[in-house]
Amino acid sequence: MGKADEITPFPQEYVELESKMEKYKSAYEGMCKVAQKFIYSNNYEPAIQESVMNVVSKVNESITKRNSVSTGDKNSDRTLHMMMATTTMQCGEMLPENEIFGEALKNYAFALEKVSSARDEMDDQIALKFLAPFMNTLDGTFQIAAKARKAAQKARLELDTVKSRLRQSSNDKIEMLSQELKLAEEQFNLNVEDAILHMKAVTENPDLLKQLNDMIEAQLNFFKKSYEALNALII
């Protein structure tokens, strides 16, 4: 194929969406990274590029394990709050029975267990309702849009090549190349429209605000339950 002498411009809408989509991609990736760091900072350090299935699988595994462990099981220190609760309870039990400070430590330990449970619930909700959907969009909608953009770029290259051949052709090939040009233009327009459609699916996702709201609500519930548990101890 001959080298094209000029580059056919993409429509302004396409150009603007392309730039907008890249910014959305950076925002998605940034939120996925910080969400993973946030919800797992209390437990373990996951790979930043964990798949959606791994995230959901670990959340389900976490819930199953918690449901199978009795409330008083001191070996279930899965979180920092629970570890602190266990240690605090042990310290309280070291003191003589009915000692005021010892009883205060035990009550504090019970409150920390409630905080730990609330933290687990928050992490699970963020993972399932925010992180998993965001990662699914990155692995799905963004990838589809990226492929559509590549198809549009390929169609533009083929169109420019036909244009170049037509300019350099002899008279006996003009009719044939003109027909090729028409087909190439049609294909280019179709691919551009398809890419625009898929890029809009990324930038106009109606679920974005709901997913962000779900994360905010999960945090709000955690802080509310933590406040209630700890505030009850204040004399």
Whether residue 3 lies inside any domain: the answer is no
Predicted confidence band of residue 229 (pLDDT cuts 50, 70, 90): very high
**Nearest partner of 78 among 97, 63, 57, 99, judged by Cα:** 63
Give the confidence band of 42 by pLDDT, cuts at 50, 70, 90.
low
Give the contacts of 105 (CB within 8 A, at least 6 positions apart). 88, 89, 91, 92, 95
pLDDT at position 132: 94
Give the chain's length.
235
pLDDT (average), residues 42-66: 56
Domain residues for the domain of 181 are 12-41+53-58+77-231
Query: Could you tell me the pTM of the whole model?
Result: 0.77
- Whether 194 maps to a domain, the answer reads yes
Q: What does the pLDDT read at residue 228?
A: 97
**Percentage, residues of the chain above pLDDT 90:** 70
Residue 100: inside a domain: yes
Q: What is the predicted pLDDT for the residue at 158?
A: 95
70 in any annotated domain: no
Phi, psi of 7 (to 5 degrees): -110, 125
Confidence (pLDDT) at 51? 57
> Mind spelling out the 3-state secondary structure of 108-120?
HHHHHHHHHHHHH
d(CA 175, CA 4): 19
Total number of domains in the chain:
1
Q: Is residue 69 part of a domain?
A: no
63 in a structural domain: no
For residue 44, pLDDT over 60 is answered with no
Any domain includes 47: no
Binned at pLDDT 50, 70 and 90, residue 53 comes out as low
Cβ proximity of 203 and 21 under 8 Å: yes
For residue 41, count other CB atoms closer than 10 A to its CB. 11
CATH number at residue 124: 1.20.1270.60
Task: Round to whole Å and give the CA distance between 64 and 80.
Answer: 19
What's the pLDDT at 128?
94
DSSP of 127-147: IIIIIHHHHHHHHTHHHHHHH
Q: Is the pLDDT of residue 47 over 60?
A: no
Contacts of 231 (CB under 8 A, 6+ apart): none
| Tens digit of each residue's pLDDT (9 = 90 or more) over 159-217 | 999 998 888 877 777 888 889 999 999 999 999 999 999 999 999 999 999 999 999 99
Q: 83 lies in a domain?
A: yes
